[in-house]
Amino acid sequence: MGEKDLELAQLLCTRLCHDLAGPVGAVAAGVELIGGDPSQVDAETLGLIGSSSAAASMKLKFMRAALGAAGAAAQDPKALLDGYLESVAGPSGKTNVTWPAPQALAAGHAALGAVWTQLVLNLCLLALETQPACRALSLGIMDGNDLIITLESRGAAERPAVLRPELTAAIAGAAESVLSAKTIHGSLTGRLVRAAKGRVDVKAEGSVITVTAAFSKSAA
């Protein structure tokens, strides 16, 4: 394992621990509130433990499919993303996701095979994380000589979307890119797309972030 790969693995572990720290910590806090006398537990504490353990479980399922070894092809990316978004929903509620028709999803699965679910989840996560307070995510698929997956992430109209240069460099796998907690997922997504003989582009226009991944069928 090279120094860059070691850094990638360490940052991904840090990312996973960061995502799970909140709900797991809340479960621990709820158990501590119960203390040594379960008879004193109230509905609020039980609700905290239940919702937090459910959030941890949904995040784990999502992260296992998105970050683990490719083996999630049979899983439904819609269900995994929906569970993840529910687990991270803030005060403004869960991000609204628009999916393409079932036949378009089936075409994508047929073209990309075992890595389909993993690629879709990581592209969705990239589109979400590059857009502060994302309110709506739209996924489109065009099946022709190339399979083209397009994601549009929309934020507040009054808040222009901004792409950091270090993130775009990490997505492209540029030699000068610097891995950090803020760029690690972009780097991973770029690697996954290129490993599947594809290319990925991210652009910002107004309050919209657009992520486009194109996969050549002739190279598959």
Which DSSP helix (H) or strand (E) runs through 142? strand 136-143
Yes or no: say if 159 and 207 are a contact pair by the CB < 8 Å rule.
yes
Check residue 82 and give its pLDDT. 93
pLDDT tens per residue across span 159-188? 788 888 999 999 998 877 888 888 899 999
Q: pTM of the entire structure?
A: 0.85
Yes or no: say if 209 and 130 are a contact pair by the CB < 8 Å rule.
yes
Mean pLDDT across the chain, nearest whole number? 84
Q: What residue numbers bound the domain in which 115 lies?
A: 3-219
Number of separate domains in the chain:
1
Check residue 140 and give its pLDDT. 96
Q: From CA 220, how far away is CA 213, in angstroms rounded?
A: 14
Residue 70 has which token pair?
A: 């490719």
- pLDDT exceeds cutoff 70 at 14: yes
Strands 198-205 and 146-154: unpaired
Confidence of residue 158 (pLDDT cuts 50, 70, 90): confident
- pLDDT exceeds cutoff 60 at 220: no
CATH of the domain at 42: 3.30.565.10
- pLDDT exceeds cutoff 60 at 3: yes
- pLDDT exceeds cutoff 60 at 99: yes
Check residue 211 and give its pLDDT. 96
Q: Which residue has the tokens 């657009």?
A: 210
Q: Across the beta sheet with 146-154, what order do the strands follow? A: 96-98, 136-143, 146-154, 208-216, 198-205
Check residue 170 and give its pLDDT. 92
Least confident of 11-20, 66-75, 88-97, 130-139: 66-75
Check residue 101 and give its pLDDT. 94
